[in-house]
Amino acid sequence: MNAIISASELADELAGGGPPPVLLDVRWQLSTAKTAGAPPFDGRAEYAAGHLPGAVFVDLDKELASAPGAGGRHPLPDVAEFGAAMRRAGVSSGRPVVVYDGGQGWAAARAWWLLRWTGHPNVRVLDGGLPAWKGPLSTDVPVPEEGDFVPEPGASGLLDADGAAALARSGVLFDARAGERYRGEVEPIDPVGGHIPGAVSAPTTDNVAADGRFRPAEELRARFESLGATGDEAVGVYCGSGVSGAHEVLALAVAGIPAALYVGSWSEWSADPSRPVAVGPDPQ
């Protein structure tokens, strides 16, 4: 099953006459607006101004993550609460789900990863997000029929801090943040800059073209192979707080390479002074 769906393919499915997929709108942006004195991004307001017809808004900070703390800025949500939120949105195990955001793809990928990790068999991300959609938008807020999805977290696909550290030595651990944060040249959010020793810099922004859509699968595979993911080793990803890293896991899935996500990511790692920090372009 493809992990992504194009806008034209989605339009065909919605017009096909059969049961449509559940549509989840997960518009969100990493915002440093507070320090700049600007109002923070409001995904719900963006949704209210216009969304795909039938789509239900999902709040990343409240429904796809727990409150910030020792586990990072976007720790895993409580599984029972996540399941309840998905059922309220109409998610059922036997019905496909399509997730989209404002175009960056990070938030949609976080929802995709959580649903896949907790056992949903058919979840796709709208490639390019809302900007790729050429059909009409709606301001109607649907009240979906309660879904039946019961999350059952998988035994694999998730890394903790110790697992990420070990994987950086035994396999391939990708750092999906911008290169300057990986190298420790700047750090606008977390306590210290740098990276997990042994991790390889692989900014998630390089996985997409200028229009925000994923590069072809063969290009993505070639990219990841050049960075060490040749298919013979375990692969993991981290970022700042487990959001853009989910987008890199999605890119790896498009390339046919399974990967695990360190959800706590750098926001958890850097908050623990006992964890080692590497700086500069060298992984070590």
List 98, 111, 239, 255, catalytic entry: 239
Verify whether residue 236 is a known catalytic residue. Answer: no
* Alpha-carbon span 47 to 57, nearest angstrom: 7
How many Å from the N-terminal Cα to the C-terminal Cα in the chain?
37
- The residues that are catalytic are 239
